[in-house]
Amino acid sequence: MKAIEVIELIEEFSPKCLAVFGDNVGVQVGLNLNKKIKKIGMALDPSLEVIEKAKMENIDFLFTHHPILKDPVKNFTGPLYKKLKILTENDIILYSAHTNLDICKNGLNDSLAELFNLKDVKNLYDDGLGRIGNFEGTFNDILKITNENICKNPEIILKKELINKKSIKLAVLSGYGLSQNSIVHVSNLADVYLSGDLTHHSKIIAKELGLTVIDGTHYGTEVYGLKNFFKYLKGILKIPVVSLDF
């Protein structure tokens, strides 16, 4: 199977056009997309550890959720140099589907909505990020599902009055969703907000606004859906697909 054919299948599931403005998605490192691919590796992050593992496992196509270059880069030194050296010397194609995989149908956000069996699901943001819907159950039920599938010990900001509620408006967003701005946005729409990367200032704002927040971690809220995508790719590709950091 050629690299370009693998890419076509990925993009059929997660079209690049869905990515939010300015995101860096698609081929990150690679030259010959007609190259025959024998083994695919999949990871959340293109970390040095993952890339070293990809080399050890003879992977020739590495899929990651997070892109390798996010902010403007001025030089290729340190770990970035090492990563690019391993990728280029071993002719490993690196491909990322980031916000387009969060947003797409059955992507990372839909996976979270499905996990909680949300009803009347809508996008949390106009660009397609996040989901919001009705959860039939209590806050403790949400917590149990979170503990079993996303994160064993999530940090929680709890509005006490919520504990007896039987039906909850739940918002979910895979990855970094617990910014101050996002908490303000969600506080007008939901009772509970599950996402990742809660900060000191976000905690204060959530308390002040009375929004119950669950920090399922950036990793936990993304890997749950990434595992679903991994199973999907394994099912449709005729070549081995292995996971490298989940």
66 in a labelled binding site: yes
110 in a labelled binding site: no
Q: Which CB, 107 or 175, lies closer to Fe ion?
A: 175
98 in a labelled binding site: no
Q: Which of 67-75, 81-89, 167-175, 207-215 is the region at the interface with Fe ion (rule: CB under 5 A)?
A: 167-175
User: CB of residue 121 vs Fe ion: minimum separation in angstroms?
Assistant: 21
User: CB of residue 66 vs Fe ion: minimum separation in angstroms?
Assistant: 6
Q: Which CB, 41 or 175, lies closer to Fe ion?
A: 175
Q: Which of 49-57, 141-149, 170-178, 201-209 is the region at the interface with Fe ion (rule: CB under 5 A)?
A: 170-178
* SS3 per-residue string spanning the chain: CEHHHHHHHHHHHCCHHHCCCCCCCEEEECCCCCCECCCEEEECCCCHHHHHHHHHCCCCEEEECCCCCCCCCCCCCHHHHHHHHHHHHCCCEEEECCHHHHHCCCCHHHHHHHHCCCEEEEECCCCCCCEEEEEECCHHHHHHHHHHHCCCCCEEECCHHHHHCCEEEEEEEEEECCCHHHHHHHHCCCCEEEEECCCHHHHHHHHHHCCEEEECCHHHHHHHHHHHHHHHHHHHCCCCEEECCC
- Report which residue's Cβ sits closest to Fe ion: 175
Backbone angles phi, psi at 56, to 5 degrees: -60, -35
User: CB of residue 118 vs Fe ion: minimum separation in angstroms?
Assistant: 21
175 lies in the site for Fe ion, by CB under 5 A: yes
Q: What residues between 18 and 77 interact with Fe ion by CB under 5 A? A: none
Q: Which of 31-39, 123-131, 171-179, 207-215 is the region at the interface with Fe ion (rule: CB under 5 A)?
A: 171-179
Q: Which of 2-10, 121-129, 174-182, 230-238 is the region at the interface with Fe ion (rule: CB under 5 A)?
A: 174-182
User: CB of residue 30 vs Fe ion: minimum separation in angstroms?
Assistant: 22
User: CB of residue 195 vs Fe ion: minimum separation in angstroms?
Assistant: 10
How many chain residues bind Fe ion (CB under 5 A)?
Answer: 1
User: CB of residue 182 vs Fe ion: minimum separation in angstroms?
Assistant: 13
Q: Which CB, 6 or 173, lies closer to Fe ion?
A: 173
List Cα–Cα distances, 212 to 134, 186, 221, in angstroms. Answer: 15, 10, 17
List Cα–Cα distances, 182 to 93, 198, 220, in angstroms. Answer: 34, 11, 19
Contacting residues toward Fe ion, per CB under 5 A: 175
Q: Which residues does the annotation place in the binding site for a divalent metal cation?
A: 65-66, 102, 218, 222
